[in-house]
A and B are shown apart, each in its own frame.
Chain A
Amino acid sequence: MAGILILNGSPRAPRSNSRRYAELFAKASPVPTETVNITRTNHGELCAKAARYHDVLLVFPLYADGIPVSLLNFLKSWQDRLPPKKPRISVLINCGFYEPEQNDVAVAMIEQFCRRTGCTLGAVLKIGSGEAILDTPFVFLVRRRIRALAAAVTAGRPRVLQVTMPIPKRLFVAASAVYWENYGRRSGISKRQMQSMDIEPQPPVT
């Protein structure tokens, strides 16, 4: 089918940054798109839907240096239910840290999925500082890169793009402290409390 199926692989898909990135992509895409969240229970339905598309875009966050379990489990289901004509899979990944390159290993895992299954890896966009960048003046840079991603996916060009905040890392560290301090404040938690060094009371040693 002409068009692009966008799958949101964030564990918090309905409230995720991935949702906002997917929306920007849908807006920028010259061809029609359909967006669906991956849940724990809809793998069968998604595999059937994906079989009707030549282009699938996976939008997801970096989790513990890799792909989140929510997406990993879907890929394991999808692997066995791919149609004979394999899709082209593009990637829009975002991570909390500054460096877009921190996403490289997760992208390599998607590439490995493609190698294992005979799918083609399409275009890739890696976003650094992805937790916060959408609510900064630098959102225009994200929009620009997402437009380039949409053009590459539509043209079937395997481009690798990346974006982050164009500020020195030390400034990013300071700005992220303010971001998280405000996040805690909304739940009535102070910066000092968030800086606690304590981890759960230790379980009794048996």
Chain B
Amino acid sequence: MKLILSDHPLPLPDLGPEVRFVDLSALRIAPCTGCFGCWTRTPGRCVIRDDATAVYPLIARSEAVFYISRLCYGGYDTPMKTMLERAIPVQQAFIRLLHGETHHVQRSVAMKQATILGYGDISPAEQEIFRRLVGRNAANMNFAGYRVLFAREADLEQTVQREVTAWLAS
């Protein structure tokens, strides 16, 4: 399946049955408290039983993800970052070497192609930080490949329409 995860509602083309759209602004998701319960007490399940528990399984089983987030200081802004922090139940506590670097062992997480669209008033320095961030995410979030896109807020809907249409066909 394919997943579009956005930090706000978007007018989208017809997605078909194999694509899920999740609008984080419509969900109730508390920040991770760093308790490690999802690794050591109820492996694979977050102890906070809110809407995030319906989202990280979707992330895990998607072979293609399209994330749309406002950026802040070169990283994801609060709604997307909150969700990504809450997604660590998809990993085990245990560590492995990946490309010579330490990373967590993944549970049943599909390898995925990721398209990440950052929007807002983004300076060249912030673009550079965000590209590096997504490069780091790739190792921790099972990205087999990734694309990073940027849009100004005024152009966002148009960019999303165009890119999502191309992404659905890919």
Contact = CB atoms under 8 A, between A and B. Distances in A.
A198 B85 contact: no
Contacts of A169: 97, 100, 102
B96 interface: yes
A200 B44 contact: yes
Interface stretch (A43-51, A80-88, A146-154, A188-196): A188-196
A173 B95 contact: yes
**Size bracket, chain B contacts:** 35 or more
A173 B97 contact: yes
Nearest to A117: B73
Given A64-B85, A183-B40, A199-B60, A112 B126 contact: yes
Interface string A165-201: 0000110110011001001101101000111111111
B54 to A, nearest CB: 4
Contacts of B136: 65, 102, 105
A10 B34 contact: yes
Given A72-B75, A202-B57, A97 B101 contact: yes
Contacts of B93: 180, 183-184, 194
A10 B85 CA distance: 13
B33 interface: yes
Contacts of A12: 33-35
A158 interface: no
Interface stretch (B7-15, B76-84, B157-165): B76-84
A174 to B, nearest CB: 9
B103 to A, nearest CB: 7
A21 to B, nearest CB: 15
11 contacts: A12-B35, A63-B85, A69-B82, A73-B78, A76-B72, A97-B101, A112-B125, A169-B100, A172-B95, A189-B43, A199-B60
Interface of B: 20, 31-36, 39-41, 43-45, 53-54, 56-58, 60-61, 72-78, 81-82, 84-85, 87-90, 92-97, 100-103, 105, 107-109, 125-126, 129, 132-133, 136-137, 140
Interface of A: 10-12, 16, 61, 63-70, 72-73, 75-76, 97-99, 102, 104-105, 108-110, 112-113, 115-116, 169-170, 172-173, 176-177, 180, 183-184, 186-187, 189, 193-203, 205
